[in-house]
Amino acid sequence: MLPFIKDYDALYAKFRWDIPADYNMGVDVCDKWADREPDRVAIINVHADGRADTITFGWLKETSNRLANALRAHGVKRGDRVAILLPQAPEVAAAHVAIYKLAAIALPTAMLFGPDAISYRLQNSGAKALITNAQGLEKISSIRADAPELKLVISVDGAGEYAQDFHALLARASSDFTPEATTPDTPGMMIYTSGTTGNPKGALHGHRVLPGHIPGVEMPHDFFPQPGDRFWTPADWAWAGGLLDALLPSLHHGVAVVARPITKFDPEEAYALMAKHAVRNTFIPPTALRMLRSAKNPKGRHDVRLRTLGSGGESLGAETYEWGKDVFGLTINEFYGQTECNLVLASCAVMGVSRPGAIGKPVPGHRVAVIDESGNVVTPGTLGQIAVKRPDPVMFLEYWGNPDATRDKFVGDWMLTGDQGMIDDEGYVHFVGRDDDVITSSGYRIGPGEIEDCLIRHPAVALAAVIGKPDPVRTEIVKAFVVLKPGQVAGDALAAQLQDFVKTRLAAHEYPREISFIEQMPMTTTGKIIRRLLRDQA
C-alpha cells in the first residue's frame, strides 16, 4: 500500500487511501491467494513438542468455507457475534476468515482470561457461538448458564457435554461458500479494551480496519513485505497487537506466519524459534524485549537473522533501543496505537525516521497531534494528549452498546487516546504515559517511562515499573517496583544504589523515593505491566 519512497515528508504528502467500496477481510487475507496459489504457505504451525506443519492458503479457504457453512446451518447470520477462545493456531485464522465471509462479527478472546473475564465478554457482546478447545470448555463450564444467547459451542479438541466437535462438524459441511457482500463499514470484529476504569468496552471495527492497519505495518517493518519475509510474534492473536499488527496483515500480503502457542514468554524459546524457522520479521512488546535481555550470549548460540523488529504497546526506552542494535544488528522500530485506533504513529529506520525515546511520526494516511483539553493543537514541546482526527479507516465504529462512552472518546473530530505526550520541533512524538500513569510530585509532572528505562540500565535490574504513590506533602512520590536478575540480592543497600543511579542520571525530583523488590511483574495478556495492581499494592 505504501509506495517505496524513502523520503518521509514526500511519502506522507503523496499517500492517499484506496479502499474498495466492496471489501471483505476474509476474501482479502485468504481467498484472493487461494484462488491464485492454493499451495502458497500461509502458516507454519509449530507444536509444543517442536513439530511443525505447513498450512496452505488452499487449506485455509476450504476450512473457512466449511466452518462458515456450519455456522450458518446453526443459525449464525450477518451481525452475530462469534467468540474465538484459542491460542495461536491455524484454526484461529480459519475461524476469523469464516466469520468475516459470513458477515458476522469475530470476538477474539485471550486464553489467559479467567472465567469472569470470559463471562463478561460473552454476556456483554451477546455472543451466539464460541469456538474453543478443551481448556476453554473447562473455563466456561461454570459460566455457561450466564450466557443465555450462546447457542453453539465448538471445540477443536472434540465433542464435550455441550460442545460439538470442530472436525466432525466441518466434515459434514460443504467446502463451497459464497462470501456475503460487505463494505468497509460493515462490522467485522470486536476487541474488548482493558480500560483503566470500569468494565472493558467492546471496540467495534468495520472491515476497513485491516487496510487501515496496512501502512502502519509496512512503515515500522521497513516497507514490508520484502522477498524472504516471514512473520512471528509472541503476542496473542486475541490481542490487536497479534491479530492486526501481525497475523492478518501478513496474510493480506501472502507472507507466511509462524504460529506457536505460548502460555509464558520464555526468552530462550523465543530465540530458538526465530532461528529454527527463519523468522525475518517480528513484533515483540517492550516488556518481552527486556526479558530477552536476560538471555546469556544469544548471538553466540542462536542464528537469528531478523530483517525488522517492531515494538509497541508500552514505551520502548533508549536503553532497549540501543540493546537491539547490539544484539540484532538492526534498529527496533517503535510504533503506537490503541485498540480503538491502532498503528497511527511509527518509526522506520530505512527512511531515517528513528529517534531513541520517541515513538516516531504519523503514519501516512493518519492525522495525529497533541492537543489540550479544549481540542486545540499545542505547540512543540508542550505536554498534552495524543489524539487522532476522524475520519480514519483504522478508527473504531463505536463502543458496543455504549453511546455515552463513544461520545466521550471525542473532542470535536479528535479521538482522545488517554495518553500524554509531546511533539518535538522535528515532528517526533514522545510518549509520556497514560493520563493516570503520569506522576504529580511537588508540582512536577513526571512520566514513568524515562525512570523505568534508567533503572533497567543498572546491571542488577531485569524489569522495572514506576508508579505514583499518594503523599500528603508532595501529592505523590515516585515509587519503583523492581525484578532483579538471577544472583542479585535485594536489600536496603541495593535500593540506595538504585536511587543514586537514577538521581545522578535523570534529576533529583525523579528518583524513586521508595523501591520494592518483587519476584514477578504483574502483566496483562498483551505483555503490558498492570500498574493498577502496583498502585493498589503501594
DSSP 311: E
Placement of cell 474453543 in the chain: 132
What CATH code is carried by the domain that includes residue 456?
3.30.300.30
Summarised one tens digit per residue, pLDDT across range 92-103 is: 999 999 999 999
Cβ atoms 306, 312 nearer than 8 A: no
What ranges in 364-477 are assigned the alpha helix state H? 403-408, 448-455
Placement of cell 510474534 in the chain: 233
In the chain, the N- to C-terminal Cα span, in Å, equals 47
With respect to residue 143, please indicate whether it lies within any of the assigned structural domains: yes
Residue 217 has pLDDT above 90, yes or no: yes
With respect to residue 409, please indicate whether it lies within any of the assigned structural domains: no
Q: Which of 366, 321, 320 is nearest to 343 (CA)?
A: 366
Residue 196 has pLDDT above 50, yes or no: no
Cβ atoms 45, 55 nearer than 8 A: yes
With respect to residue 99, please indicate whether it lies within any of the assigned structural domains: yes
Residues with Cβ < 8 Å from 503, sequence gap 6 or more?
510, 511
DSSP 71: H
- Decide the pairing of beta strands 444-446 and 439-441: antiparallel
Q: Which residue has the higher pLDDT, 162 or 69?
A: 69
Q: What percent of the chain has pLDDT over 70?
A: 98
Q: What's the CA gap between 292 and 319, in Å, rounded?
A: 13
354-375 burial, b if ≥16 CB within 10 A, otherwise e? bbbbbbbbbbbbbebbbbeeee
Q: Give residue 112's pLDDT band: very low, low, confident or very high (50, 70, 90).
A: confident
Last residue of a domain, one of 164, 186, 206: 206
Q: Which of 494, 491, 488, 481 is nearest to 520 (CA)?
A: 481
* Phi, psi dihedrals of residue 484, rounded to the nearest 5°: -90, 155
What CATH code is carried by the domain that includes residue 111?
3.40.50.12780
Kindly state the cell numbers that stand for 538. Answer: 503501594
- What does the pLDDT read at residue 524? 73
**How large is the C-alpha radius of gyration of the chain?**
23
| Range 244-271 average pLDDT | 95
Last residue of a domain, one of 152, 177, 206: 206
Which range (188-192, 228-232, 292-296, 438-442) has the least confidence? 438-442
Residues with Cβ < 8 Å from 407, sequence gap 6 or more?
none
For residue 102, what are the domain limits?
21-42+49-206
- What does the pLDDT read at residue 286? 85
- What does the pLDDT read at residue 443? 63
Collapsing DSSP states into helix, strand and coil, what is residue 126?
Answer: coil
Residue 414 has pLDDT above 90, yes or no: yes
Cβ atoms 74, 162 nearer than 8 A: no
Residue spans of beta strands (DSSP E) within 207-290 = 231-232, 257-259, 281-283
Summarised one tens digit per residue, pLDDT across range 291-300 is: 898 888 887 8
With respect to residue 442, please indicate whether it lies within any of the assigned structural domains: yes
Q: Which of 166, 168, 118 is nearest to 143 (CA)?
A: 118
Q: What percent of the chain has pLDDT over 90?
A: 78
Residue 425 has pLDDT above 60, yes or no: yes
- What does the pLDDT read at residue 114? 83
With respect to residue 196, please indicate whether it lies within any of the assigned structural domains: yes
- What does the pLDDT read at residue 194? 64
Which residues does residue 132 pair with via DSSP β-bridges, in sequence order? 155
Placement of cell 493498577 in the chain: 532
DSSP 320: H
In this structure, which amino acid lies at residue 307?
R
With respect to residue 359, please indicate whether it lies within any of the assigned structural domains: no
pTM of the model: 0.86
Summarised one tens digit per residue, pLDDT across range 375-395 is: 999 999 999 999 999 999 999
| Cis omega (within 30 of 0) for bond into 87 | no
With respect to residue 2, please indicate whether it lies within any of the assigned structural domains: no
What's the mean pLDDT when you consider all of the chain? 93
With respect to residue 458, please indicate whether it lies within any of the assigned structural domains: yes
Kindly state the cell numbers that stand for 456. Answer: 533497567
Q: Which residue has the higher pLDDT, 486 or 296?
A: 486
Last residue of a domain, one of 188, 206, 224: 206
